[in-house]
Amino acid sequence: MSDDKFKLLEERKTRYLAAMNLEKPDKVPIRLMLSEFSAKHAGYTFQEIYYELDKNIDCVNKLLNDFDLDTTGGAPSLWWASLHDAVGAKYLKFAGRELDVNTQFQYHEEEYMLAEDYDAFIENPTEWILNTYMPRIHKEFAEPGSYRANVALIKGGIGMLTQLGANQKAWGTWAPEYGGVPTFTAFSKAPFDTLADTLRGLSGIMMDLYQRPEKVKAAIEALIPHNIFYGMATSGGEMEFPLFIPLHRGAFPFLNPKQWKEFYWPSLKKVIEAFWANGKRTLFYAEGNWTPYLESIAELPEKSIVFHVDMTDMAQAKKILGGRFCISGNVPNTMLAFGKPDEVKEYVKRLIDEYAADGGFIIDAAAVILADAKEENIRALIEAAREYGVY
């Protein structure tokens, strides 16, 4: 590692950690979740980054070379399409196969867990996932024990390790050669989301809340230790950077406040508190609007989360959570896609003026940045953050 890259790495890391610890760093950290935007920037099709690990990783090389980012979320495509083809995973559709080469991947939601599955799931979720869920979502597993299913299982395991190894190797380059700092180093989910996203789906869970609420609660209770384990296992012992939880069905008004307090919040709170007790902070990536729930979120241990603002009222978030948790956000993605650089700069300036003065603030877009964002607007965001975000 060259001296200047080491210095850059240390500056960025110190800046990021200071903000998360509610301190005033030298500058407001810039943390952008640059996803499919980075494929466009690197000149790759979506098919290329979804299917080819080296190109997916190369997108980040180009980003780190071309933009002054304090952290990076890693390779833009989380899901390796080749691995999904190997097992015949049917819940994701990818560019270049079912979709045009530059179409964003799509999630095909169904009730992959039936209402009748609750008891078996609650009794032993791990075994139920392998025996019942995986044959449903993987076409290659349609006949468990068959030659096709056995080959797919081998390819699936090898594929997942291949992807993990490629990403790990890439960090061996991003940190020393580009001064790249990870946005997060672990992943988990809110237990309600685990149940409501890939298992029961939105329509299934909404009916369950009325038809079998006790089963929902029992399933969520069963998920809590698994979601804690998954988060800590993915951290691999790394404790400085946060654990990423993308929060989905907890946004208002998927659930009404009574349902949220009864079904969503208690288990999420337990998971986050367990991470914090183990020394791991959570990046509370609150997609959508969480304004009605800010008072409850304030119950979490001080500094245990970074509260990310998407459509939540930023002023309310600052008023209720400021001084207790670092806050991040929230340049609207619509502005990055359809606005002008001057509008972006003005928005960033206002965010910094109104919410960053005391420290404990990270500038970011409102949500993950897809290919519709204009490069000049990303550059405007970064320029404004550097111009106005000096303490």
Binding site for other proteins (CB under 8 A): 79, 89, 91, 107, 110-112, 114, 116-117, 120, 123-124, 126-138, 156-157, 160, 187-189, 194, 197-199, 225-230, 233-234
> Which residues are CB-neighbours of 373 under 8 A, at least 6 positions away?
37, 333, 336, 337, 365
Nearer to other proteins, 213 or 236 (CB): 236
- Cβ contact 243:280 at 8 Å: yes
Query: How crowded is residue 258: how many other Cβ atoms within 10 Å of its Cβ?
Result: 8
Nearer to other proteins, 61 or 104 (CB): 104
Nearer to other proteins, 135 or 292 (CB): 135
Helix 3-20 and helix 147-178, axial crossing angle in degrees, nearest 10: 110
Name the nearest CA neighbour of 362 among 97, 69, 107: 69
297-302 long-range contacts (CB < 8 A, ≥24 apart) are 297/321, 298/324, 299/269, 300/269, 300/272, 300/273, 300/276, 300/325, 301/273, 301/276
* Least distance between other proteins and beta carbon 132 (Å): 5
Nearer to other proteins, 135 or 257 (CB): 135
* Least distance between other proteins and beta carbon 112 (Å): 7
Name the nearest CA neighbour of 285 among 315, 341, 242: 242
Nearer to other proteins, 194 or 330 (CB): 194
Query: How crowded is residue 19: how many other Cβ atoms within 10 Å of its Cβ?
Result: 26
Backbone angles phi, psi at 90, to 5 degrees: -105, 0
* Least distance between other proteins and beta carbon 264 (Å): 17
* Least distance between other proteins and beta carbon 58 (Å): 24
* Least distance between other proteins and beta carbon 31 (Å): 22
* Least distance between other proteins and beta carbon 107 (Å): 7
Nearer to other proteins, 76 or 329 (CB): 76
Structure letter (DSSP) for residue 372:
T
Residue 33 in 3-state DSSP? coil
